[in-house]
Structure 1
Amino acid sequence: MRSGILLLYFTLLHCAVVAFPEDQEPTVRLSDMYTQGYPLFLGHESGDDKEEHTLDIQQVVIMDRILYIAARDNIYTIDMGTSPAEEIYFTKKLTWESSENKAKECIMLGKSEDECHNFIRVLIKRNDDTLFICGTNAFSPFCRTYKMDTFEIEDNKIKGKGICPYNAKDSNVAIFTGGYLYSGTVADIQSMDPLIYRSLGDTPNLRTEKQNSKWLKEPHFIHVVDYGSYIYFFFREVAIEACDTGQLIVSRVVRVCKNDMGGNEAFLDQMWTSFLKARLNCFVPSILNFYFNELQAVTDVVHINGHDVVFATFTTSEYSIPGSAVCAYDMHELDKAFSGRFKEQLSPFSIWTPVPGDQVPTPRPVSCAGSEPLEAYTSSKDFPDDILNFMKEHHLMDVGISSTESQPWFLRTMVKYRLTKMAVDVSAGPNNDRVVVFLGSQNGMLLKVMDTSGGNAFLSNSVFLEEMSVYNPEKCIHKGSHDKTIVSMQLDKPSGALYVAFRHCLIKVPLGRCKLHGKCKKACIASRDPYCGWVEESKECKHFIPGESQEFVQDIEHGNVSGMEDC
């Protein structure tokens, strides 16, 4: 019954006054038969190492031209300067396993043997010389600091509560900045206490109120960004403001002040005083706006044509018609939402309504201490009780945040996969002026999309360049399982590659498939690929190498091949 209603709803959207945009078809579509020859990492140290390894990759990070692979019980590093022909081997390996006693205690809690390992969930830079690493440690999370170059332990273990999840299936994000660690995860073994937390600094630790759904309700953390005076957490959660009884999932961004010192003993003691959240909207505008509610991935802040922007990938619910969308958000416009009206619920069963302006304290609590309109206060601990009391109960903004152009930049609907990972290149092409977004799915599909906006337009047009299956069904299989979910993607411009991680393998994918077009000028130009160009001297389609001065023929704008011979 529900699927029938959804289908009718989708049909109505296509018939609405504002036409529902049609899906683009890719210029190039490739199967895994073409891509299975790409170099891959399977956990081996050398060509002589033929043992099957249980990787269970959790995340992939590139720092200082070193690729770090955080997996189960191990962290591997790969030198980005190497050019493997078939298989990639690790340069260094750090093994951090849970003790036998911890594993036994974990099993006694009713967990399976596979769950009772140390899954590395946090791997971030603490400073220029050290890494901060946390693992689930058989449902007893711990963290350590290591030297980047040697993996030598810098200090003793510290408890990872509030920093790293107990269960590897729970989401988490973390970032070190200004000497503090900001994290979003769950702080208990039952996954019932979600929190956004600041710790490991000189001032008091701060967190969200414990098990209060008005702060967070079953959040799934996606990304955290350091920008200006604030830290931004991107996540999806159950919408407490929804009028119906269903579990509507919506996407959010939370903003907290870096200089937040917490409240006083009466209000918000050791809790955030600057915690504000707003809904991220990504929808096709029409009579019946069609929303892509579930945030899946967010990029770091990138600079495009004078704008600071984040790209985000959204999907429909898994119980709905399959659909994915990419929306972009201007950070300046995003911040405006936090100067708007607050939303409140006056009683447990009443609907949520905007807070009247005359009921908001003066000065208005929307900024950090020392900044207008709170410039009179040097610390949040000095805020008057009426401001602290208001901020204890009011976190949700009334108006959501619209994407650039107020519509998705790219859509993919009515296909069997949803797009859940992304990487962005804002300096593609020979002139370093093209935006390319790579999108990864739950079934091993990788998409490449380019922005074609010209003139004064800003992220208003996209062209679908490639759709390819990059999962290697012969080599990535582990114990009979073909898990094709892309778990992480990292782009490395100097090597001209995108590193795509699955649970049990990592594949190095060239940014462009120039060799596919070979000696055919027409196919090379028609591809509109910003990473490829036609070289008249050698009569071949070649990959752009940064700094190379060779002359290329290219038409990214139109792919005009009039007058060219077929081949």
Structure 2
Amino acid sequence: MALPALGLDPWSLLGLFLFQLLQLLLPTTTAGGGRQGPMPRVRYYAGDERRALSFFHQKGLQDFDTLLLSGDGNTLYVGAREAILALDIQDPGVPRLKNMIPWPASDRKKSECAFKKKSNETQCFNFIRVLVSYNVTHLYTCGTFAFSPACTFIELQDSYLLPISEDKVMEGKGQSPFDPAHKHTAVLVDGMLYSGTMNNFLGSEPILMRTLGSQPVLKTDNFLRWLHHDASFVAAIPSTQVVYFFFEETASEFDFFERLHTSRVARVCKNDVGGEKLLQKKWTTFLKAQLLCTQPGQLPFNVIRHAVLLPADSPTAPHIY
């Protein structure tokens, strides 16, 4: 609709976009040789010995989507489709399989998934989506479990994974998405899991939820539409007193002909215990705001993909990249 008004064909628009993108990637300086602008967090030059790629492949396994580095940095735990792996990464460039444990969805769940018109070739499996360190002896993990989310604890023995007991598998609704294609996030803080995901089979009910630990289970209110139904979560970052969630959703505050997607940041307080009446088991400290990622004279970044916490001199003044 906008192309005739602009007088630009699609290839011209693509060229303009690439030019703007190149400007963003190149280091910039202020007038007078002042402070530099946006710079990459990590930079390696061609020929640098640290610029190494490591490959790992295991026959019969796929969808290595969830990664967790051990506290000592020697073991990488990997959540794949229907399996969890422990890789020894002490030798640079040579990841070695320490052990692997299967965690497939049950035959009954797979049959129910296929009956609900989901693909038994690409969807009706257990895709590991949450993998966090619970303590020095256990990991906590959740998977889609053939569109019926499930969670469990995994015991560790000298960084090796011990088999999962079926009687210890719990419902994972609100912690893991139903659909492996849906974006999600989860972080463990003080023994409590803060998660952002889709809370129903249809993928139309986004939720920010706190589970585990001694505090009450809390979640966002779907009826009050605290989140748009297409919210897509990318990161959860804890701070001193709060936990931040980064996501994108359709901006309902703007009245346009077409849907406008915008980046958001939301926060909840760690000491929130819920409210009374309508706010029972609901967040009372939930706030969200539009995340403005832009540079003067350049295109705005309205589609967020990830966020990480950068080391800071003061714990009270963190920087998020």
- What is the TM-score with the length of structure 1 in the denominator? 0.47
Q: Does 1:220 align with 2:232?
A: yes
> Partner of 2:305: helix, strand, or coil?
strand
Q: Does 1:94 align with 2:105?
A: no
Q: Does 1:203 align with 2:215?
A: yes
* Structure 1 residues 115-154: aligned runs within 5 Å: 115-149=123-157, 150-152=160-162, 153=164
Q: Percent identity?
A: 30
| 2:76–2:86 contact (8 Å) kept in structure 1 | yes
| 2:263–2:303 contact (8 Å) kept in structure 1 | yes
* Structure 1 residues 513-524: aligned runs within 5 Å: none
Q: Does 1:82 align with 2:94?
A: no
2:290 counterpart (279, 299, 315): 279
Structure 2 CA distance for partners of 1:175 and 1:22, relative to 1, 3 Å = closer
**Aligned partners of 1:78, 1:257: CA distance in 2, in Å?**
35
Tell me the residue number matched to 2:62: 55
**Aligned partners of 2:60, 2:15: CA distance in 1, in Å?**
48
Shift of 1:167: 0.7
- Structure 1: stretches of 5+ with no match in the other structure: 14-19, 44-51, 312-567
> Partner of 2:111: helix, strand, or coil?
helix
Tell me the residue number matched to 2:56: 41
> Partner of 2:113: helix, strand, or coil?
helix
Shift of 1:194: 0.6
**Aligned partners of 1:111, 1:10: CA distance in 2, in Å?**
36
Over aligned residues, Cα RMSD in angstroms? 3.1
1:71 counterpart (80, 85, 91): 80
**Aligned partners of 1:181, 1:93: CA distance in 2, in Å?**
24
**Aligned partners of 2:174, 2:93: CA distance in 1, in Å?**
39
**Aligned partners of 1:77, 1:27: CA distance in 2, in Å?**
28
2:113 counterpart (85, 106, 116): 106
Shift of 1:21: 4.5
Name the aligned partner's letter for residue 309 of structure 1.
Answer: H
Does 1 or 2 have the higher relative contact order (CA < 8 Å, sep 6+)? Answer: 1
- What is the TM-score with the length of structure 2 in the denominator? 0.80
Deviations 1:6-43 (A, max 9, x none): 95889999xxxxxx95753999679xxxx9x9441001
* Structure 1 residues 212-361: aligned runs within 5 Å: 212-265=224-277, 267-286=278-297, 290-303=299-312, 308-311=318-321
Deviations 1:524-552 (A, max 9, x none): xxxxxxxxxxxxxxxxxxxxxxxxxxxxx
**Aligned partners of 1:21, 1:120: CA distance in 2, in Å?**
38
> Partner of 1:90: helix, strand, or coil?
strand
Tell me the residue number matched to 2:194: 182
> Partner of 1:115: helix, strand, or coil?
coil
Name the aligned partner's letter for residue 106 of structure 1.
Answer: C
> Partner of 1:91: helix, strand, or coil?
strand
Tell me the residue number matched to 1:173: 185
Specify the structure having the higher radius of gyration (Cα): 1
> Partner of 2:283: helix, strand, or coil?
coil
Deviations 1:79-99 (A, max 9, x none): 1213456xx431110110112
Would you say how many aligned residue pairs link Structure 1 and Structure 2? 288
Shift of 1:63: 1.6
**Aligned partners of 1:81, 1:22: CA distance in 2, in Å?**
36
Structure 2 CA distance for partners of 1:23 and 1:272, relative to 1, 3 Å = closer
